[in-house]
Amino acid sequence: MYKRVLIKVSGEVFGGKNGGLDYEAISKVAKQISEAYELSTQIGIVVGGGNIIRGIDSEKFGVLRTTADYMGMLATVINALALQNSLEKLGVPTRVQSAIEMKELAEPYIRRKAIRHLEKGRTVIFAAGTGNPYFTTDTAASLRAMEIGADVIMKATKVDGVYSSDPMKDPKARKYDSITYLDVLKKGLSIMDSTAISLCMDNNLPIMVFNLKGKGNIRKIIEGKKVGTLVRGNNGARTKKKNK
């Protein structure tokens, strides 16, 4: 169903109970991604950094917002390298591109080069967010998805889709099969921050919200099976032209 996808994995997925890196969890994520790779899907990945540092928490301790955000961007680079290592162990060729130049560790982000990697069957991990403070890694995911001409953003979460209210707290919470961007914004459903959602809405890029813990979910979505919730425009049609 999807030929080129952008998968957003939050840092929490990579972290153990006490934060830091949980290598077992990372290899489980890598396994799911390798299943999608076997379908010849072109895969871009944006990783978060919340397992190592959370900007909001640092702010509470008096760290400047901008500084905290840069620290968070560095954390995503650590996660990207860990994920690259796990993916390559499974035979998935991978390139890491960083929005903040650190040539000794990773390639710099170059859109045309990223697309060439994808065309050659390499999975590309985009690290360091957008390279700017005040932008979340969800916004980075929307931006990169647009830049590489992805068919969909696959937003991995801990729940199996978008609910009318928090399913952990409200037993009456109802799961949507699909929902519009506007409804997500109006109802204040916290899938991604509003900047990220607006960017997708303005460019008609669908967002698939799904549970990464569900076995084989990434593969199932790419095969067009009914998993998660699709966030889309009113008519559901894509008008976006693919970037070359």
**Residue 27: CB minimum distance to ligand GTP, A:** 20
User: Is the separation of the CB atoms in 7 and 43 below 8 Å?
Assistant: yes
**Residue 101: CB minimum distance to ligand GTP, A:** 8
- What are the distances in angstroms from CA 78 to CA 28, 46, 134? 17, 12, 20
For 142-195, strand residue ranges (E) read: 152-157, 162-163, 175-176, 178-180
Please give the Cα distance from 193 to 184 (Å, whole number). 10
**Residue 236: CB minimum distance to ligand GTP, A:** 36
Residue closer to ligand GTP, measured from CB, 84 or 229: 84
Please give the Cα distance from 17 to 170 (Å, whole number). 25
For residue 157, which amino acid is it? Answer: T
Per-residue tokens: 166: 């928090």
Residue closer to ligand GTP, measured from CB, 119 or 202: 119
Residue closer to ligand GTP, measured from CB, 90 or 185: 90
**Residue 6: CB minimum distance to ligand GTP, A:** 19
Residue closer to ligand GTP, measured from CB, 120 or 215: 120
Please give the Cα distance from 124 to 43 (Å, whole number). 7
Please give the Cα distance from 6 to 144 (Å, whole number). 8
User: Is the separation of the CB atoms in 231 and 196 below 8 Å?
Assistant: no
Residue closer to ligand GTP, measured from CB, 108 or 216: 108
Applying CB under 6 A, the residues found at the interface with ligand GTP are 95, 103-108, 116, 120
**Residue 107: CB minimum distance to ligand GTP, A:** 4
**Residue 98: CB minimum distance to ligand GTP, A:** 9
Residue closer to ligand GTP, measured from CB, 24 or 104: 104
By beta-carbon distance, which residue lies closest to ligand GTP?
107
